[in-house]
Amino acid sequence: DTAVSQTPKYLVTQMGNDKSIKCEQNLGHDTMYWYKQDSKKFLKIMFSYNNKELIINETVPNRFSPKSPDKAHLNLHINSLELGDSAVYFCASSIGVGTPYEQYFGPGTRLTVT
Question: Rounded CA gap, 80 and 37, in Å?
Answer: 19
Closest Cα partner for 31 from 18, 48, 19? 48
Q: 86 — phi, psi (to 5°)?
A: -60, 125
Question: How far is residue 54 CA from its own chain's centroid?
Answer: 13
Binding another protein by CB under 8 A: which of 8, 44, 51, 79? Answer: 44
CB of 42 to another protein, least distance (A): 6
Instruction: Using the rule CB under 8 A, give the single segment among 14-22, 39-47, 62-70, 72-80 that binds another protein.
Output: 39-47
User: Is residue 42 within the footprint of another protein (CB under 8 A)?
Assistant: yes
> Is residue 84 within 8 Å of residue 5, measured between CB atoms?
no
Quote the CA–CA distance of 58 and 5 in Å, as a whole number.
23
Stretch that binds another protein, among 18-26, 43-51, 59-67, 75-83 (CB under 8 A): 43-51
CB of 85 to another protein, least distance (A): 19
Residues near another protein (CB under 8 A) are 4, 40-45, 48, 55-56, 90, 92, 97-100, 102-108
